[in-house]
């Protein structure tokens, strides 16, 4: 098996998180070779970056509409892609414990789209942001990763992660720090990029907080974001001569889910039994 066949085999048999990482690394490699080619032949600019990066100008965007998605797989600096893919690996696998592969892809792609829209709107309608923006193009996976991270933090805010020398930290605290870092850095430079990250984070929050419990597809997500969430509760009315009273009763499945989530919040995911993990996985696929 040669090198290319080995890469193809690994990609085909990998999970969605690894597939996204492979695509990002592949695009980065192409950008690197394009930069080398440009340097050797003294060509100004990188044709690949210009073709894939999201422009701030609406007029230019209309000539390259695909960039609203492709910029989310594009990185020009090694440290940029390294930090993003490390975050995607760990956050993505935590996300996959509760959601499906299709949902993770939806979060990544639609978070990228939301971030791109926020970037263009801020650049064109708020001139103050142009003064603190370092570039008139947007690239990087941060918006999509922010959607995934804030989405899972909204779903299990009390889940705890253990850090050396610090101890256990709840997920909602990490999410708040994640958002605060972008907000603080807006005046310092690259305002459009940080606002794009916040746009992705907003999508992740809305997706979990407002969308239906049913598995969403990329074509129905935007519609369901702004419709009222279906609550797994029902109202029971008791008969009799006394005034009618409303009693809200949770379904048996929801009670089991709540108990498992409480257990995760107190002791972490590893504390669950095999049966509890399987039950939670099956519920996440509904």
The tens digit of pLDDT for each residue in 168-194 reads: 999 999 999 999 999 999 888 788 889
**Above pLDDT 90, what percent of the chain?**
50
**Domain identity same for 268 and 136:** no
| pLDDT of the residue at 194 | 92
**Domain identity same for 161 and 66:** yes
268 sits in the region (left: phi over 0; alpha: psi -120 to 50; else beta) called left
Q: CA-CA distance, 205 to 201, in Å (whole number)? A: 6
For residues 12, 16, 20, 21, the Cα torsion angle rounded to the nearest 10 degrees is -80
Segment 197-217, tens digit of pLDDT: 999 999 999 988 876 444 444
**Domain identity same for 192 and 249:** no
**Domain identity same for 148 and 276:** no
**Above pLDDT 70, what percent of the chain?**
76
| pLDDT of the residue at 237 | 38
Q: CA-CA distance, 62 to 68, in Å (whole number)? A: 10
**Domain identity same for 275 and 209:** no
Q: CA-CA distance, 91 to 145, in Å (whole number)? A: 8
Q: CA-CA distance, 103 to 284, in Å (whole number)? A: 10
How far out from the chain centre does Cα 103 lie?
A: 10
pLDDT for 141 beyond 90: yes
Residue matched to tokens 């850095």: 185
Q: Please provide residue 213's backbone torsions phi and psi, each rounded to the nearest 5 degrees.
A: -70, -20
| Beta partners for residue 246, in sequence order | 237
**Domain identity same for 216 and 105:** yes
Arithmetic mean of pLDDT, 249-257: 68
How long a stretch of residues is the chain?
A: 286
Nearest by Cα to 48 from 61, 31, 29, 60: 31
Q: Which of 205, 225, 245 is the last residue of a domain?
A: 225
Based on the structure, what is the number of domains in the chain?
A: 2
| pLDDT of the residue at 216 | 45
Enumerate the H helices of 156-245 as residue ranges: 171-185, 191-210, 221-225
Q: CA-CA distance, 91 to 132, in Å (whole number)? A: 30
For residues 52, 58, 59, 62, the Cα torsion angle rounded to the nearest 10 degrees is 50
Q: CA-CA distance, 215 to 87, in Å (whole number)? A: 24
Q: CA-CA distance, 116 to 68, in Å (whole number)? A: 6
**Domain identity same for 251 and 133:** no
Contact between residue 163 and residue 273 where contact means Cβ atoms under 8 Å apart:
no
**Domain identity same for 176 and 277:** no
Residue matched to tokens 């108990």: 259
**Domain identity same for 10 and 75:** yes
pLDDT for 220 beyond 80: no
- DSSP per-residue codes, 263-284: HHHHH-GGGS-HHHHHHHHHHH
What is the model's pTM? 0.72
**Domain identity same for 178 and 253:** no
Highest mean pLDDT among 72-81, 221-230, 267-276: 72-81
Arithmetic mean of pLDDT, 255-267: 75
Structural domain span for residue 269 = 233-284
**Domain identity same for 158 and 260:** no
| pLDDT of the residue at 133 | 57
Q: CA-CA distance, 98 to 189, in Å (whole number)? A: 36
Q: What is the largest CA-CA distance in the chain?
A: 91
């Amino acid at each position: 098996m040669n090198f290319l066949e080995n890469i193809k085999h690994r990609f085909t048999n990998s999970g969605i998180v690894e597939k996204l990482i492979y695509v990002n690394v592949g695009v980065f490699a192409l950008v690197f070779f394009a930069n080398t080619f440009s340097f050797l032949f003294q060509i100004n600019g990188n044709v690949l970056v210009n073709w894939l990066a999201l422009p701030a100008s609406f007029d230019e965007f209309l000539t390259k509409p695909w960039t609203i998605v492709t910029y989310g797989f594009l990185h020009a600096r090694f440290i940029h892609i390294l930090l993003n893919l490390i975050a995607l690996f760990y956050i993505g696998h935590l996300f996959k414990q509760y959601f499906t592969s299709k949902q993770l892809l939806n979060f990544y792609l639609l978070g990228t789209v939301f971030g791109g829209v926020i970037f263009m709107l801020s650049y064109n309608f708020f001139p103050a942001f142009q003064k603190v923006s370092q570039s008139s193009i947007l690239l990087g996976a941060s918006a999509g990763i922010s959607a995934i991270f804030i989405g899972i933090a909204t779903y299990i805010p009390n889940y705890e992660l253990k850090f050396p020398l610090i101890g256990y930290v709840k997920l909602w605290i990490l999410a708040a720090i994640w958002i605060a870092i972008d907000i603080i850095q807006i005046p310092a430079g690259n305002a459009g990029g940080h606002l794009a990250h916040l746009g992705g984070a907003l999508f992740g929050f809305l997706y979990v907080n407002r969308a239906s419990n049913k598995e969403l597809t990329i074509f129905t997500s935007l519609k369901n974001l702004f419709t009222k969430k279906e609550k797994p509760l029902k109202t029971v009315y008791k008969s009799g001569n006394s005034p009618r009273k409303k009693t809200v009763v949770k379904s048996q499945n929801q009670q089991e889910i709540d108990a498992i989530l409480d257990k995760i919040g107190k002791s972490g995911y590893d504390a669950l039994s095999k049966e509890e993990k399987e039950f939670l996985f099956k519920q996440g696929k509904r």
